[in-house]
Amino acid sequence: MTMKYICLCTVLWLAATLQLAAQPTFDKTEVKALMKRVADWQIAHPNKENEHNDLDWTHAVLYMGMIDWAELTEKEDGDRSYYDWLLKIGRRNHFQMGQWMYHADFIAVGQPFIDLYRKYGEMKMIAPVMARANWVVDHLPETTLELDYGRPETLSRWSWCDALFMAPPVYAKLYAQTLDRKYLNFLNREYKDTYDYLYDKDEQLFYRDCRYFDKREANGRKVFWGRGNGWVLGGLAEILQALPVDEPSRKFYRDLFVTLATRVSGLQSADGYWHASLLDPGSYPSPETSATGFIVYALAYGVNEGLLDKERFLPVVAKGWKALVAAVEADGKLGYVQPIGADPRKVTRDMTEVYGVGAFLMAGCQICRLAAHK
């Protein structure tokens, strides 16, 4: 009996060892070197086009990636230069929000500013975003979720799926900082309303907005935008990182995160990318790195936190990261980023965008965590 037990244990140990050896691994030094090239290229090539002022959503996403990168490089390399870059931007804008009171895109920059407040403790870093959020919570928007760009008031709520990345984490972070439930109550109510409206329970994916409910791709499938669902998945990862683990309402976001991550992981193309259209990648065969970046970020976060099964999801993450790496030029320019839009479009290698770089850096920091676990 003892010998059989020993043999069984040996077999199980060998199986576990072989399984571990077969799992993808990451070279942290290589990952960090590539991230540095990408971050430095973007800093050296600022984008000043429309929707690219310091406080616009485009740059807010870049700052979120830079915050993660700054934390990593300061901790491991003693490099404060990326924090200094972020502080310079915040201070020259007095840590203010964007111009529209309700619009999710114009409070997105509050996310990195809250993170800077958590590090430096300067009230001026959080006061503007808190004032904006307080005003919104105290003057609830009274409009439909039926988005119509001819009626600007319909942008006052989270009526498009991108908004679920831009605004909800702000309220989650403010709740985490203050424990004032008005932020959490607003987050839960508005998020669930948008979920009920834009989430397709059959496909387990989010429509970009109501205009796509009845549209179909060339292959007859429903229209689900790659980056749009990347926005949602990345936003869920941010919410989960902010909310206390013992907060009961966290379960809704955790369950949705796992469901959406599972669905999206099965839509990865053979080349490792998620394409502009999730259900008709054949019509949009080019790589698309903003969708891929947000999805790799979220999936890697899920594996790191034990929310997603490592054996199942790690190969997907590794394949996605390899695809992202292939889209970086020698000088650090990230290519194949779909320009600003609302639906699947054609993408070419020369296309880049600051939010794509933000997603890349967020993903890379989670990859570094995976490398540290090997």
DSSP 56-69: SHHHHHHHHHHHHH
Cα distances (angstroms) measured from residue 205 to each of 213, 316, 343, 345 = 12, 18, 14, 18
- Distance between CA atoms of residues 170 and 183, nearest Å: 9
- Distance between CA atoms of residues 157 and 138, nearest Å: 14
Whether the pLDDT of residue 12 is over 50: the answer is no
Pairing of strands 199-200, 205-206: antiparallel
pLDDT tens figures, 198-207: 999 999 999 9
Whether the pLDDT of residue 6 is over 80: the answer is no
50 located within any domain: yes
Enter the tokens of residue 167.
């605004």
**Count of other CB atoms within 10 angstroms of residue 220:** 8
Report pTM: 0.93
pLDDT tens figures, 307-366: 999 999 999 999 999 999 999 999 999 999 999 998 889 999 999 999 999 999 999 999
Total structural domains within the chain: 1
234 located within any domain: yes
54 located within any domain: yes
Enter the tokens of residue 323.
């695809």
Judge whether 355 and 61 are in contact, CB under 8 Å: yes
DSSP at 199: E
Report the pLDDT averaged over residues 209-221: 97
Strands (DSSP E) contained in the chain are 199-200, 205-206
Among 172, 205, 234, 270, CA closest to 363? 234
Whether the pLDDT of residue 257 is over 60: the answer is yes
Rounded to 10 degrees, the C-alpha dihedral 355/356/361/364 comes to 150
70 located within any domain: yes
180 located within any domain: yes
Q: What percent of the chain has pLDDT over 70?
A: 94
**Would you name the residues annotated as active-site residues?**
162
364: domain CATH number?
A: 1.50.10.10
359 located within any domain: yes
- Of the pLDDT bands very low, low, confident and very high (cuts 50, 70, 90), residue 116 is very high
Whether the pLDDT of residue 2 is over 80: the answer is no
Judge whether 342 and 27 are in contact, CB under 8 Å: no
Q: The domain containing residue 78 runs over which residues? A: 24-372
17 located within any domain: no
233 located within any domain: yes
